[in-house]
A and B are shown apart, each in its own frame.
Chain A
Amino acid sequence: MLTSKNKVLTCIAIIFLILLMLPLVLVVVTSFNTANSISLPIQGFTLNWYKNILSQPDFIDGFIASLEVAIIASLLALVVGVLAVYGLTRSNIHHTSAFQSFFLSPTLIPEIVIGFALYQSVIVGLHLPVFIGLIIGHFLLCLPYVIRLVTAGMLMLDRHIEEAAWISGCSAKKTFFLVVLPNIKASIIAAFMMCFINSFNNIPISLFMNGPELTLLPQAIMNYLQNNYDPTVSAISVVLMVFTGVLMILVEKFIGVNELTGGK
């Protein structure tokens, strides 16, 4: 039984859903269009643009490079972030909130500034490979997500649980692995997902660090768009959407989306 108020709410919700989904639907639709540019209405159905992805080495290489950078940077941020959070939430050090702010500070700096600063110091100054610069940049991008999400997870974990483990004969180090990590697993996986997706999609930081030997996928797509305005871009966008979607489904299948959001 819908009251009139509920009907209005439902309508508003549907309108917003359409506004959110429409661009995605258009991208999917245009990726199958036979026309040579991204346009509507569609003239015919083809899978050529998907085939064309495979003939673009920039996309293939970019995808692999993006994957590498996203995974390495996310894992690095997880290791540093989880240890930092454990220290911040469990030790008796002073000025905890100052440290907390320090670890979250990358969010305050515009990504483009981080990118430029890294370019100046790491690439130009230290002559390090572009890959190292990218890893550092994406690590900074990821770290605040880990700090935020894992802190939330740690705060929900009663600290007496660790003490109970110690008293049961488990050393502090072992307790971290046997008791703490399994209980903040959900927030760690959530943090990894956020890191991975943000790193994978990032342009502002990566913008400064690419070259003939290494270009990340978003950058490759931008480069391609500058020269060709054809539905290949739609096609690769669809591939990326499916890729992210499959990732989410796999996570849901193995740990359950309920746990990801903190419920049991």
Chain B
Amino acid sequence: MAELEVKQLSKSFDGKAKVLKDISFTIKDGEFVSILGSSGCGKTTTLRIIAGLLDQTSGQVIIDGQDISKVPVHKRNFGMVFQSYALFPHLTVFQNVAFGLKMRKLATNEINERVKEILNLTGLGELAQRYPAELSGGQQQRVSLARALVTKPRLLLMDEPLSNLDAKLRVKMREEIRRLQKQLKLTVVFVTHDQQECFAISDRVLIMNAGKIEQFDTPENIFHHPKSKFVANFIGYENFINIGEKVDERTFKTNDLILKTNEELRQAEVTTIRPENVQIVDEPDRENTLRGEIISSEYLGQSFSYLVRTVIGNIYVEEARHAPRSENDQIVLELPVKHLHVLYR
């Protein structure tokens, strides 16, 4: 396995609009990195350029210090798992997995040994002689994974590999992928649009938007300290409070309301808080509290979600409770200091 460096990568399909705008990042040896973004953000383009399936307009792809920008796909020694699995329909499971080893002209004995080993590791031992059309989606995905891993690739690329599976299987497969990644010490680039999935599986997450990197950090940091409004919005922050007037480094005034946060305001203009972190409290005179009126409520199963009208605009609140509060109720909200995050972009 290896370290991947992407340097000032740009891509334009028609010579005008840039799909990727000068992106750079480094993935460490043995690290599991997800690229997260909505469709059209450039995440798949990035992955395909790393794989060599697409040529970049400018920039470099570097593996262990070696620039491979000009190396053709079949000489890069990567493994890739596709959303559609892309198994060879005319070959059995065994032959599918053996394909890459045959291309490397290994001895038959060694091919047999390595294929068997990886089939057992992925729980496919029994299915070796089946054809892809005779397998379930989950089984096909395993074959696809086995085929990508058997050549001991320097880098494992995965393009939305779990999107075609049902919810339960998806969770099971992602645990399995993570287990294999740790066991084999793989460097993985995993593309997905599913926030939960990539937070669960990754060492670090790279969030992309409109061809640029929004934030590249650990899931915990992204979750608790989103850097931009886009990231906050993408991962479920729904309340955005404008910083009207700065009182000191960590206090600001908006619509006559004084709010405090633990983070430095610097040049930022917006703060944010997750609906489940907003508290409904009794005493109105504590720090960071404000009055509001419930406009609407929604049942979420574990909790109730309310839309509350306040002097600083509507605020979403989530509260775990057995019975809902009724509309038009006057309540007091607390925006806890530690949960009010400053967005620098």
Whether chains A and B associate is yes
Contact A169/B104 with A160-B82, A163-B53, A163-B82 known, Cβ cut-off 8 Å: yes
Closest approach, in angstroms, between the C-beta of A153 and any C-beta of chain B? 12
Interface hit among B86-94, B114-122, B316-324: B86-94
Closest partner residue, chain A, to B99 (CB atom): A168
Whether B99 contacts A167 by the Cβ 8 Å rule is no
Is there an interface contact between B88 and A161, defined as CB atoms closer than 8 Å?
yes
Contact residues in A for B51 (Cβ distance below 8 Å): 163, 167
- Residues of B near A167 (CB, < 8 A) are 51-53, 73-74, 76, 78-80, 148
What A residues does B78 contact at CB under 8 A?
167
Q: A164 interface residue, CB < 8 Å from B? A: yes
Q: Which residues of B contact A168 (CB under 8 A)?
A: 74, 99-100, 103, 147, 151
Q: List residues 167-191 of chain A with CB under 8 A from any CB of chain B.
A: 167-172, 174, 179, 182-183, 185
Q: Does B200 contact A (CB under 8 A)?
A: no
> Is B84 part of the binding interface, using a Cβ–Cβ cutoff of 8 Å?
yes
Known: A166-B74, A167-B74, A168-B99. A160 touches B84 (CB 8 A): yes
Cross-chain contact of A160 among B76, B77, B86 (Cβ < 8 A): B86
Whether A164 contacts B147 in the complex (CB less than 8 A), given A169-B103, A169-B104, A183-B89, comes out as yes
Q: Which of B72, B80, B86 contacts A158 (CB 8 A)?
A: B86
Residues of chain A lying within 8 A (CB to CB) of residue B184: none
How far is it, in angstroms, between the C-alpha of A158 and the C-alpha of B88 when the chains are bound?
Answer: 10
Task: List residues of chain B with CB within 8 A of the CB of A221.
Answer: none
Contact: A169 with B77, CB < 8 Å?
yes
The reply on A95 being an interface residue by CB < 8 A is no
Q: Is the CB of A165 within 8 A of B88?
A: yes
In the assembled complex, the Cα of A172 lies from the Cα of B52 at a distance in Å of 13
Q: How large is the interface on B (under 10, 10 to 19, 20 to 34, 35 or more residues)?
A: 20 to 34
Contact A179 B88 (CB under 8 A): yes
Taken together as a complex, chains A and B put the C-alpha atoms of A165 and B147 apart, in Å, by: 10
Give chain A residues whose Cβ lies under 8 Å from the Cβ of B99.
165, 168, 170
**How many angstroms between the C-alpha atoms of A158 and B82 in the bound complex?**
11
A183 to B91, CA, bound (A): 10
Q: Which residues of B contact A185 (CB under 8 A)?
A: 90
Within the assembled complex, what's the spacing in Å between the Cα atoms of A264 and B76?
A: 35
* Smallest beta-carbon distance B162→chain A, Å: 16
CB of B90 to closest CB in A, whole Å: 4
CB-contacts of B93-114 with A (<8 A):
99-100, 103-104
Q: Would B86 and A163 count as touching, CB distance under 8 A?
A: yes
The CA-CA distance from A165 to B96 in the complex, in Å, is: 10
Does chain A have a CB within 8 A of B312? no
User: At the interface, yes or no: B311 with Cβ under 8 Å from chain A?
Assistant: no
Q: Convert B123-164 into 0s and 1s, putting 1 for each residue whose CB lies closer than 8 angstroms to a CB of A.
A: 000000000010000000000100110010000000000000
What is the bound-complex CA distance between A169 and B76, given in angstroms? Answer: 8
When C-beta atoms are compared, the residue in chain B nearest to A172 turns out to be B74
CB of A166 within 8 A of CB of B90, answer no
Q: A224 → chain B, closest Cβ, in Å?
A: 47
Rounded to whole Å, the gap between the CB of A162 and the closest CB of chain B is: 8
Q: Which one, B74, B79, B133, B148, contacts A170 given CB within 8 A?
A: B74
- A171 touching B88, Cβ below 8 Å: no
B84 touches A170 (CB 8 A): no
Q: How far is it, in angstroms, between the C-alpha of A154 and the C-alpha of B39 when the chains are bound? A: 27
Taking a contact as CB atoms under 8 Å apart, the answer to whether B133 and A161 are in contact is no
Pair B133/A264 contact, Cβ less than 8 Å: yes
Among A169, A171, A183, chain B packs the most CB atoms within 10 A around the CB of: A169
Residue in chain A with minimal CB distance to B105: A169
Task: Chain B residues near A160: list those with CB within 8 A.
Answer: 82-84, 86
Q: How far is the CA of A166 from the CA of B53 in the complex (A)?
A: 9
A164 touches which of B72, B80, B90, B104 (Cβ 8 Å): B80
Q: Nearest residue in B to A175 (C-beta to C-beta)?
A: B74
Chain A residues lying within 8 Å of B77, measured Cβ to Cβ, are: 169
- Chain B contacts of A183 at CB under 8 A? 88-90
Cβ of A158 and Cβ of B79 under 8 Å apart? Answer: no
Tell me the minimal C-beta distance from B310 to chain A in angstroms.
Answer: 50
B144 closest partner in A (C-beta): A164
Contact A158–B84 (Cβ < 8 Å): yes
B163-178: which residues lie under 8 A (CB-CB) from chain A?
A: none
In the complex, the chain B residue whose C-beta lies closest to that of A162 is B86
Given contacts A166-B53, A167-B79, contact A161 B89 (CB under 8 A): yes
Q: A171: which B residues are within 8 A, CB to CB?
A: 72, 74
Name the residue on A nearest B100 (C-beta).
A168
B80 touches A169 (CB 8 A): no
- Cβ contacts A to B, 28 pairs, < 8 Å: A160-B82, A160-B86, A161-B87, A163-B82, A164-B82, A164-B88, A164-B147, A165-B88, A166-B53, A167-B51, A167-B52, A167-B76, A167-B78, A167-B148, A168-B74, A168-B99, A168-B100, A168-B103, A168-B147, A169-B74, A169-B103, A170-B99, A170-B100, A171-B74, A182-B90, A183-B89, A183-B90, A264-B133
Taking Cβ atoms with an 8 Å cutoff, the residues of A that contact B are: 158, 160-161, 163-172, 174, 179, 182-183, 185, 264
- Give 4 new A-B contacts, CB below 8 A, not counting A161-B86, A168-B151: A158-B86, A164-B147, A169-B151, A170-B103
- Enumerate the 10 nearest inter-chain pairs by beta-carbon distance, A residue then B residue, closest first: A168-B100, A160-B86, A169-B103, A166-B73, A164-B86, A182-B90, A160-B82, A167-B80, A161-B86, A166-B74
